[in-house]
Structure 1
Amino acid sequence: MNDGSSIKPYLIRAVHQWCTDSMYCPHVSVQESGCSGIPAESFKDGEIILNISYQATNDLLIDNETIQFVARFNGVPRKVEIMIGAVVAIFARESGQGLTFIPEVNKTDVADEQGSSVDHPVSQDSQALSIESKRGKPFLKIIK
């Protein structure tokens, strides 16, 4: 995602802030091809839904190119990096309200961006990361 004038990262930050202010739990649905640091077995049909609340992540940073944070997968803390172009949706778990996007990442873009990066566990403490799987067609599910 080389276009610095994209509105997408601003909308992602806005929905995240709205969720936080409303005491909701913000979740993102992302494509596997635009992520690093997430174990491959966590993905279902090439996508994953991640809890990106401040309680579930450490060092959360949502900038114009990536979403970065430290989270635990199977008890192992990992530094996660998600390209903004890989974000399919951001929504509140409790209400299902949020935004969906057209993914802007394909595998050749990711290879160019990441070069030869390797996923490494980190040694920071963080709280558990909620992972929900998707089945079939994309949908938002209200969980109470």
Structure 2
Amino acid sequence: MEQWVVPSVVPYLIRAYHAWMEDAELTPHILVDCTYSGVVVPKQFIQQNKIVLNIASNTTHDLVINNNSLSFKARFSNKLVDIFVPINAVSSIYAGENGEGTLFKTETKKTEKKPNLTLLN
């Protein structure tokens, strides 16, 4: 029996907020969790494992927001750089001018926790 997988709402919201911000002449920014596997951004601009990226159409080249990732080319230090962000690494999208936007719950990495043991006499 085939099981239906419901796609995440996040890429749809990113596309909707992006369109709304551009229609309102606001600048869409995303906050990216750079600890997420597959993130490709200029490392020198990462701060506290995060980076803010301007995804306005007039600052990006070949912007693609699909259901799994967000990718584009952008200038950093006058050099054209390929950017790749898995959708689950996007923590928020907001307008640079007024902060209007939304937060997304990013997947937390599973780490093995050692049991807390106490020696009893």
2:78 to 75, 78, 85: 75
TM-score (norm 2): 0.80
Q: Is residue 56 of structure 1 aligned with residue 25 of structure 2? A: no
Equivalent residue for 1:85?
Answer: 88
- Deviations 1:33-90, CA, capped at 9 Å, x for gaps: 3311x22111000001110000110000100000000011112111111000000000
Matches within 5 A, 1:1-144: 5-34=7-36, 35-36=39-40, 38-104=41-107, 106=109
Compared with structure 1, are the counterparts of its residues 69 and 63 closer, same or farther at alpha carbon in structure 2 (3 Å cutoff)? Answer: same
Q: Give structure 1 stretches of 5+ with no counterpart.
A: 108-144
Compared with structure 1, are the counterparts of its residues 4 and 77 closer, same or farther at alpha carbon in structure 2 (3 Å cutoff)? Answer: farther
Once superposed, which parts of structure 1, at least 4 consecutive aligned residues long, lie more than 3 Å away?
Answer: none
- Deviations 1:88-126, CA, capped at 9 Å, x for gaps: 00011112110001112649xxxxxxxxxxxxxxxxxxx
Instruction: Output the aligned Cα RMSD.
Output: 1.8
Question: Does structure 2 conserve the Cα–Cα contact (< 8 Å) formed by 1:33 and 1:105?
Answer: no
Question: Does structure 2 conserve the Cα–Cα contact (< 8 Å) formed by 1:86 and 1:105?
Answer: no
Q: Give structure 2 stretches of 5+ with no counterpart.
A: 111-121
State the one-letter code of the partner of 1:16: H
Moved more, 72-81 or 59-68: 72-81
In structure 2, C-alpha distance between the alignment counterparts of 1:104 and 1:9, rounded to whole Å: 14
Q: Larger relative CO (CA 8 A, sep 6+): 1 or 2?
A: 1
State the one-letter code of the partner of 1:97: E
TM-score (norm 1): 0.68
